[in-house]
Structure 1
Amino acid sequence: MASISATVAAFVHAPPEMPDAVILAGRRSLLNMVGTAIGGSGEAAIDKLAALLPAFSGPATNTLIGRPERADMLWAAYINAASANIFDYDDTHIPTVIHPSAPVGPAVLALAETLASQGRPVDGRALIEAFVLGAEVTCRLGNTLHPVHYARGWHITSTCGVFGAAMAAGRLLDLSPSQLVDALGHALAQGAGSVETLGTMSKSLSVGQAARGGLMAALLAADGYTGPEEPLEGKRGFLALHTDTPDYAAITGELGSRWEILNNTFKPYPCGVVLNPVIEACLTLHAKGGFSPSDIVSVELTGHPLLRQRTDRPDVTSGRLAQVSAQHAVAFSLLHGKADLAAFSDEAVADPDVCALGGKLAFCDDAASALDAVQIRIRLIDGREILHAVTAAKGGLGYPMSDTDLADKFRNQIAWRGLRLDGDALIAELENLQNAADGAAFLRATQPATFQK
């Protein structure tokens, strides 16, 4: 019987024909990722990473999405991945809360852009397929470790994403099954990521490294660099290191007939995914009115325990921390009736009214609650109570973002950055990506020559 690692490698080397729905889901995930990379490309953390390029980058051959600089292939994968994830506005796989596109997409695009420069362009269908395979491996590994891995504090996007990036790049390089196993071993040697870094610049390092490390893993394997025979299931392999009871069937079960990309979702708000139903509830209550924020005595959230575990962060001091703070999200959305990129800025965090209202928040855990559900209870000074429940937040599997929603989100992120980019043309290229002769050609249009702000 083939090992787990060998089974994964064989699947990536010779996958079955992908259904149209899977290709569509992969294309939509890439469109969303490019949009979030544009939106995040001007953050201070990305500026600092880009400033390292003269000292550490090779020949400037590859596109940095949303930025005027260029970088070598590995640094482009790194910085584009960090940009795509920095606002927590990227995709989310259910139930693992992995953001598969951030580590996998930039690795695929950087390699495809390099191959095109060598006269070997990757067509759009092949690029999407490689991306889907990488996302599949990433999310199946996440399913195997869920929920212990994330609960222990591992940043699951990074720790699992490096393997997906390696497999996606390996697919484009047409690695043999044995070379793909080697690439899994090289990914094992480079994986990292801690939940402790969420809300800080450090978080972007492990996401960027997952893309860079996965791409490097495939390139090393292509050059004959060898690794362990069982990097995933070995006695001291990835699964043994990260959980006590790995669910092997979650990796190999229905492989090629059940696609995890179909469980990928897109966020309507730039924050931790467990805050989506919270914000939706607050926006609904703000729109209904009937109370003044100054009359609020307390706000109680009843939801999945992960909501409290990940977002009970009072008195945050930065926009990045605000993205994972229920106190900030509730206060700002109740006060202002919006939850856009500006709502999670340093300026928004400094608002004394937001700080005061956030201090009135309490949590109530409900283990039976879905991740995309919440009940909010507002108690007012006159004794009234206002209740509102969200059973399936927008952006979840039960209420997915439409193509129009994704296009609007894409345009809004260009506007946020103040870039002179033709958003409609970029969206059209990405929506037709599967028919492109060169799947990475659109990258040139993501790089601005001038800035509006």
Structure 2
Amino acid sequence: FTGSDGNSTIFGIGQHVDISTAALINGIASHADDYDDTHVDTPVHPSGPVASALFALAEWMGGVTGEEFLAAFVAGIETECKLGVAVFPEHYNVGWHITSTTGSVGAAVAVGKLLGLDTKQMQRAISIASVQVIGMHESFGTDTKPFHVGAAAQAGLTSALLAKNNFGGSLEGLEAKRGWSHVVSTRENLTEEFSTFGEVWETTKNTFKPFPCDRIIHAAIDGWIQIHQEAKEKGLDVTKISNVTARTHPRVLFLTDDPEPETGLAGKFSVYHAAAVALLYGEATPSQFTDKAVQNKTVIALREKVHVTSDDKVSEHEAYVAVEFDSGEKLEVHVEHCIGSYENPLDAEFLQKKFVDHVSTQIGEERAKRALKAFVGIANSTDVGRIAQAFEE
């Protein structure tokens, strides 16, 4: 429905489009499964907006080296996450989708660095991006949520290109009294956070998701999967459960208190559905968050037995879960640091398998492995834009 002429690629299908469309579509795809990265100190999923804009631009420009690309990528991630820390949690708690509200600015900085913007041009790029605020919690569990990320990538790219051509904008778009930080949050701490820019690296605080759903329920899922495994070892029937409980951080119910999700997307934001599939199947993969899985009668029956309470003393990466069986036996698990957290990170083998397994469903295993090799070797690339060719036949 948008431009079909251009040399930027939509990953996975190989279609060439204009750079703006590529940034939009790849940005949407990056967040469609809620299976992306997450910054430790905020709920920002930083790579989607920044990488989607940069890859589109790199193909259009040609000759962008891996070193140039990664420097721009880190600049964008640092900006995005610093902004997130400066306004979190107030900004998030009123309903803003912090990934996209910060992502447009992060993408603008990344693209601006690759374009070689001077100081005033970069300030204007940031300002232009900052007025394109997009994303609210009301869209969570719908197709519109990943659209936030694609729109942020597109907005950041457009902002930097406009600034490159001396399109006007405020030089204080973020910090001014009527600028971004004061408008989108009741608290802002930009000066303090950005005083550590280039010293305290937010990129090193990035983590990766083991489960394709809201990060806030990962600790509980981790615990329920452990209980599934223990039940199996003890010969307990997971279809004969009488009660399921969890004590979690308050944000779990704030974001995922949906006892009757109707779609797979909605299931990603239902702690009740997550409990049911983790206990029944011992895993939480994309196949557990489909329309079919959400409408499964066995899943629904177990979902109705799940009870969750909030506890301010429980951290976001922690959960206390318990399951009572019809036999009277009770299994309990305390997850202090869930799998995929900063303290319990996913290893390279897990991440590579995750990539190949899921990309293979779209382009086949051979091409998926070729794409993985290209991404892993990006630092040594002499033309990052050519990486998209790894997805093609």
TM bucket, shorter chain: over 0.9
Kindly state the Cα deviation for residue 70 of structure 1 after the two structures are TM-superposed.
2.0
Q: 1:99 corresponds to which residue?
A: 45
Aligned: 1:379 with 2:324: yes
Residue 353 of structure 1: aligned partner: 298
Q: Which runs of 5+ in 2 are unaligned?
A: none
Partner of 1:129: 71
- Deviation of 1:59 (Å): 1.5
Q: Is the 8 A contact 1:134 1:167 kept in 2?
A: yes
Equivalent position of 1:398 in the other structure: 343
2:256 is matched with 311
Specify the code of the residue in structure 2 equivalent to 1:208: G
Give 2:193's aligned residue. 251
TM superposition score normalised by structure 2: 0.96
Q: Distance in 2 between matches of 1:332 and 1:103?
A: 30
TM value normalised by structure 1? 0.84
- The residue correspondences of 1:20-169 to structure 2 (distance < 5 A) are 52=1, 56-57=2-3, 59-116=5-62, 121-169=63-111
Question: Is the contact made by 1:421 and 1:446 (CA closer than 8 Å) also made in structure 2?
Answer: no
Corresponding position: 1:177 with 2:119: yes
Secondary structure of the 2:384 match is: coil
AA aligned to 1:435 is: N
Describe the SS at the equivalent of 1:231.
Answer: coil
1:190 maps to 132
Shift of 1:285: 0.9
Contact 2:23–2:150 (CA under 8 A) maintained in structure 1? yes
Code of the residue aligned with 2:44 in structure 1: it is I
Tell me which of 271, 278, 298 is aligned to 1:326: 271
Please give the secondary structure, in 1, of the residue aligned with 2:242: strand
| 1:422 aligned to which of 356, 367, 392 | 367
Deviation, 1:146, is 0.6
Q: Which secondary structure state, in structure 1, belongs to the residue aligned with residue 226 of structure 2?
A: helix
Letter in 1 for 2:25: I
Identify the residue that residue 335 of structure 1 maps to in structure 2. Answer: 280
Question: In structure 1, what residue type is equivalent to 2:51?
Answer: G
CA distance 1:304–1:254, shift in 2 (3 Å): same
Matched residue count: 390
Q: Is the 8 A contact 1:184 1:217 kept in 2?
A: yes
Structure 2 contact 239–280 (Cα < 8 Å) conserved: no
- 83-92 or 310-319, which moves further after superposition? 310-319
Deviation at 1:446, TM superposition (A): 1.8
- Structure 1 residue 248: Cα displacement: 2.4
Q: Is the 8 Å Cα contact of residues 87 and 188 (structure 2) preserved in structure 1?
A: yes
Look up the equivalent residue of 1:182 and give its one-letter code: R
Contact 1:414/1:421 (CA < 8 Å) preserved in 2? no
Q: What does 1:424-443 align with in structure 2 at a 5 Å threshold?
A: 424-443=369-388
Aligned-residue offset at 1:420? 6.0
Structure 2 residue aligned with 1:269, among 184, 196, 211? 211
**Cα separation, 1, equivalents of 2:361 and 2:294:** 18
Letter in 1 for 2:82: R
CA distance in 1, matches of 2:193, 2:174: 10
Q: Indicate which of 289, 293, 299 corresponds to 2:244.
A: 299
SS in 2 for 1:440: helix
Alpha carbons 2:318, 2:334 under 8 Å: kept? yes
Letter in 1 for 2:142: T
SS for the counterpart of 1:362 is: strand
Provide Cα deviations, 1:160-212, integer angstroms capped at 9, x if missing partner: 00000000000000000100010011102212100110110111222111000
1:423 shift after superposition: 2.4
* Structure 1 residue 250, shift from structure 2 partner: 4.5
| Shift in Å, 1:292 | 2.3
Q: Distance in 2 between matches of 1:428 and 1:444?
A: 12
2:64 match: secondary structure: coil
Q: Deviations over 1:39-58 (max 9, x none)?
A: xxxxxxxxxxxxx2xxx215
Identical positions, percent: 32
Q: Distance in 2 between matches of 1:203 and 1:295?
A: 36
Checking the alignment, whether the CA contact within 8 Å between 1:140 and 1:250 is kept in structure 2 is no
Corresponding letter in the other structure for 2:311:
D
Unmatched 5+ residue regions in structure 1?
A: 1-51
TM-aligned CA deviation for residue 229 of structure 1: 2.1
Distance 1:412 1:365 in 2: 35
In structure 1, distance between residues paired with 2:198 and 2:169: 26
Relative to structure 2, which stretch is displaced further, 359-368 or 136-145? 359-368
User: Shift of the alpha carbon at 1:307?
Assistant: 1.0
**Superposition deviation, residue 108 in structure 1:** 0.7
The amino acid across from 1:316 in the alignment is P
What is the DSSP-based 3-state SS (H/G/I as helix, E as strand, rest coil) of the residue aligned with 2:189? Answer: coil
